[in-house]
Amino acid sequence: MELGYSLLFYLKKPKNYTSGNIPVYMRFTVNGIPKECATTRTADPEKWCSKTNREGGKTESTKSLNYHLDDLQQKVHNAHALLVREGKHITAACLRDKFLGRDKPQKVLQLLEIFRLHNKQMQELIGKEFEENTLKGYRTCLLHLTGFIQKNYQSDDLAINLLDYNFINDFNVLCD
């Protein structure tokens, strides 16, 4: 899993630019792959310092812009930290999307929900590929698994991503 990223603020001259302030963009780079988005702010190209990625000077507008960029930088850092905590594969696109709030929550698969779907599909195959006793065994296993999850996790179902060796081992002990 990639843990590092870089963030760059830069000025992007629009087509037909003649003079005045220029939009400030931010570029997220992970594994050499960049993605960018606008910051909704502009800067004076005469005052912009490429080395610091900030506008130079002491005016109120410069201070305001630089504070805003510092705030954006912190928000990107927080978005990155969230992705790391969530165990997500980090790309420049997903970091940008997390920062922008565009990341779509994925449906968390539930163990018993999947098991019930499996049993329903098995039932449709009785007499074709499977015998009734096979389905009976799966139904019994589902009942044991449901009770195990309710007792050990105080829940009606369990997210697949929470399964680990201990879960399998503890359930196996119950079934012996």
> Per residue, what are the HEC states of 7-48?
EEEEECCCCCCCCCCEEEEEEEEECCEEEEEEEEEEECCCCE
The helix/strand count (H/E) of the chain reads as: 5, 5
The verdict on pTM exceeding 0.85 is no
Half-sphere exposure of 56 toward its Cβ, with a 13 Å CA cutoff? 8
8 Å CB contact between 6 and 96: no
Q: C-alpha angle with apex 80: 77 to 85, nearest 5 degrees?
A: 125
List the chain pLDDT tens, one digit each, 176 residues: 445 899 999 999 988 888 999 999 999 999 999 999 999 999 999 999 999 999 999 999 999 999 999 999 999 999 999 999 988 889 999 999 999 988 766 677 899 999 999 999 989 888 888 889 999 999 999 999 999 999 988 999 998 888 888 898 888 887 77
How far are the Cα atoms of 12, 23, 45 from residue 15, in angstroms, in the given order? 9, 12, 15
